[in-house]
Amino acid sequence: MKRSKKYQAAAALVDANKVYSIEEAVELVKKTSTVKFDATVDVSIRLNVDPKKADQQVRGTLVLPHGNGKTKTVLAITDRTEEAKAAGADFVGGKEMLEKIQKENWFGFDVLVATPNMMGEIGKLGRVLGPKGLMPNPKTGTVNPDIAKAITEIKAGKVEYRTDKEANMHVSIGRVSFEDQKLAENLNALVEAIIKARPAVVKGTYIKSAAIHTTMGPAVKLNIAGR
């Protein structure tokens, strides 16, 4: 693949043979952003797990200390409409909102949260919501009797991390405009959460490799592997 001159200049700032501390990596990755907009800062981590086995799936959520710079549009399916509205949900309703999704093919939201009593109705749209990653799940906190808490956390910068079929995970932890310290604190919080979620059956090395990068920018290797 032929790279642009800007990308090549950015890549030249990175020592491909070096693994950087979180603080060093955060400072460097901001310098490698080649786009004119406020680029997203992403972390990619490869784990020593077998996602095909139920006891080795790594999945969870956390509220980043400083959010990730992304504002998510929330649809709340609940009978506790006033609580949901007060918490900041962008759309609130019950069966009528589900009918809108089904009949109008409407997906003007990023996250769907619900109270447990509504899951029977939502389950009927499993084939529609599931493939888009919009099906509420207790494991990610999007099915919650405390609907206000679920919405507040999402609006505050709650992110999900989960391994894909290749045992990799990719999480956005902020934007280039963030202060170095805030990005570092977000990254540390993510690493701690992933380590805490380590499957009991995994022996030896858990984190095989990790890197931080911006939108369309080169990867900077992180010194968190081997744990």
Residue 2, pLDDT score:
66
User: pTM higher than 0.85 for the full model?
Assistant: no
Of the candidates 77, 115, 81, the one whose C-alpha atom is nearest the C-alpha of residue 95 is 77
- Helix H, strand E, coil C: the string for 111-170 is EEEECHHHHHHHHHHHHHHHHHCCCCCHHHCCECCCHHHHHHHHHCCEEEEECCCCCEEE
CA distance 160 to 162: 7
Quickly count: other Cβ atoms within 10 Å of residue 77's Cβ.
28
Biggest alpha carbon–alpha carbon distance for the chain:
56
Say what percent of the chain tops pLDDT 70: 98
Instruction: Say which residues have a Cβ less than 8 Å from residue 90's Cβ, sequence separation at least 6.
Output: 73, 74, 75, 109
- Is the pLDDT at 216 greater than 90? The verdict is no
The SS3 call for residue 104 is helix
Write out the E strands in the chain. 40-47, 59-63, 74-77, 91-93, 111-114, 158-162, 168-175, 207-214, 220-221
Question: pLDDT tens, 44-66?
Answer: 999 999 999 999 999 898 999 99
Q: What is the mean pLDDT of residues 124-141?
A: 91
**Structural contact between residues 195 and 49, judged by C-beta atoms closer than 8 angstroms:** no
Q: What DSSP character marks residue 94?
A: S
